[in-house]
Amino acid sequence: MQNGVVRKATPLVPPVVIRLGVLTRPFVIDRAAAPTAISYAERAAAAKAFAATLPKFDRDAAMTRDLLAPMLDAVEKRAATLKDAMVEARAGRYGAAALEALGAGDQTAAAFLRGVDYYAKGQLDQAATQLAIAAGPRREFFPAAFFLGAVYASAGRDRDAAGVWQMSMGTEVRPPVFYAMVADARLRDGIPDAAIDILKPAYDKQPENDDLARRLGMAYVMTTRYADAMPVLDAFLGRHPTDQGLLLAAIVSQYELVQGGQVASVADVARMRRYVTAYKGPESTLARKYLEAIQSK
Question: With 80 as the cut, is the pLDDT of residue 37 above it?
Answer: no
Number of domains in the chain: 1
Whether residue 43 lies inside any domain: the answer is: no
44 vs 222: which has the higher pLDDT: 222
* Average pLDDT of the residues of the chain: 85
Whether residue 57 lies inside any domain: the answer is: no
Whether residue 21 lies inside any domain: the answer is: no
pLDDT tens digits, residue range 252-269?
A: 899 889 888 988 899 999
pLDDT at 50: 52
Cα 93 from Cα 97, distance rounded (Å): 6
Whether residue 145 lies inside any domain: the answer is: no
Whether residue 241 lies inside any domain: the answer is: yes
C-beta neighbour count of 166 within 10 angstroms: 17
Domain of 280 in residue numbering reads as 225-297
3-state secondary structure of 165: helix
Residues in the chain: 297
Average pLDDT of the segment spanning 224-232? 96
pLDDT tens digits, residue range 102-126?
A: 999 999 999 999 999 999 999 999 9
Question: Are the C-beta atoms of 187 and 54 separated by less than 8 Å?
Answer: yes
Cα 127 from Cα 244, distance rounded (Å): 39
Question: With 80 as the cut, is the pLDDT of residue 27 above it?
Answer: no
pLDDT tens digits, residue range 70-81?
A: 999 999 998 889
Whether residue 277 lies inside any domain: the answer is: yes
Strand partners, 5: 2
**Model confidence band, residue 40 (pLDDT cutoffs 50, 70, 90):** low
Nearest to 155 by CA among 195, 192, 117, 128: 128
Whether residue 267 lies inside any domain: the answer is: yes
**Model confidence band, residue 6 (pLDDT cutoffs 50, 70, 90):** very low
Whether residue 151 lies inside any domain: the answer is: no
Q: Is the pTM of this model over 0.85?
A: no
Cα 253 from Cα 151, distance rounded (Å): 36
